A = this chain, B = another copy of it.
Amino acid sequence: MQYTVKQLGDLAGVSARTLRYYDEIDLLKPSAVTEAGYRLYGPDAVDRLQQILLYREMGMGLDQIKRIMNDPQFDLKEALLSHRKSLLQRKAQLEQLLETVERSLAGLEGRIHVTDKEKFEGFKKQLVADNEAKYGKEAREKYGDEAVDASNAKLMGMSPEDWENFKKVEEELIETLRAAMEEGDPDSDLGLKVGELHRRWLSFTWQSYSAEAHRGLAEMYVADERFKAHYDQYSPGAAEFLRNCIFAYTEKKRG
C-alpha cells in the first residue's frame, strides 16, 4: 500500500517536514506523485526509510547515509547485519553509562572513590558515525575521496582495534614492498607476500573480493597520478612494482 507524508510520518515517528526534506536532498524520494502533487510512499520507500532511521540512530549524518545507500554495492541484508552490530555496541555503551551512574551514586554516599576520568566512562563515542570523523579524514587524505566513499559501509563498522590492525597491515605491506623491490622480482616469495598483504589490507574496506577487481585496482595505481605518487613516495617505482606483485599474486592464485 501507499502512504502520504503524514501517514508514513506517523507510522515511522518522523515529521512530514522531515520526509519532505529527505525528498529535497534526494535521500528518500516518494514512490509516486499524484496529479495534485501529493507524495506517495510505497514498500520500497518504507524499507529505505527504515534503513535511514537505523543509520540516523547511530548518529550518522544524512549526507553519509545517502552515500552508503546509493552505493551500487549496498546490500540490505549486509546493512541489517551491520546495524545489529552497531546496536549491540550502543547497548554495551549504555550499560557502561549505567555503571558510571551507579558508581557516581556510590561515590556520593562515600562508599567508594570515583575518579574524574571514571565519571565520564560511557560518554566516549567509539561508534560508527565517529569513525568517519576520526578515520575518514585520515583515510581521505591518504587514499582520496572516491576510495573512501566506495568503502564507506565497511569503514563505518570499524572498531578502533580494526583501525589499528588496518594500519598495521599497511605498514607491513610497505616494509615488505620495500624489501621485495630490493630483491627485484615480483614473482618471488616476497613479491607474492606483498600481493597477499595487499589483499588483506583490502579486506578491511572491500565488501567483497575478486582477483579481477584486485587487478583493476592495481592498474589504477599506475594509471592514476595520485595513487602513483602515494606509493612512489615510499620508493621510486613502488606503484609499478606493487602492480606487478598484485598481478603475480592473482595469477598464481588463479593458476
How far apart are A178's CB and chain B's nearest CB, in angstroms? 36
Q: How far is the CA of A84 from the CA of B94 in the complex (A)?
A: 10
Q: Could you tell me if B94 and A11 are in contact, using CB atoms closer than 8 angstroms?
A: no
Chain B CB within 8 A of A12 CB: yes
**Chain B contacts for A224, CB-based, 8 A:** none
Whether A119 touches B84, Cβ cut-off 8 Å, given contacts A91-B98, A95-B91, A105-B77, is no
- Inter-chain contacts of A147 with B (CB < 8 A): none
The reply to whether A11 and B120 contact each other, CB–CB distance below 8 Å, is yes
Query: A50 interface residue, CB < 8 Å from B?
Result: yes
**CB of A76 within 8 A of chain B?**
yes
Tell me which residues across on chain B come within 8 A of A47, comparing CB atoms: 119
Inter-chain contact A120/B50, CB cutoff 8 Å: yes
Bits for A80-106, please: 1 = Cβ < 8 Å to B, else 0.
110110011011001101100110110
Residues B108 and A84 in contact, CB atoms below 8 Å apart: no
6 tightest A-B contacts by CB? A12-B120, A13-B124, A50-B119, A13-B123, A80-B105, A91-B94
Could you name 12 residue pairs across A and B whose Cβ atoms are closer than 8 Å?
Answer: A3-B116, A13-B125, A43-B116, A50-B119, A53-B120, A57-B97, A77-B108, A80-B101, A84-B102, A87-B94, A87-B97, A90-B94
Chain A residues proximal to chain B, CB less than 8 Å: 1, 3, 11-13, 43, 46-47, 50, 53-54, 57, 76-77, 80-81, 83-84, 87-88, 90-91, 94-95, 97-98, 101-102, 104-105, 108, 116-117, 119-120, 123-125
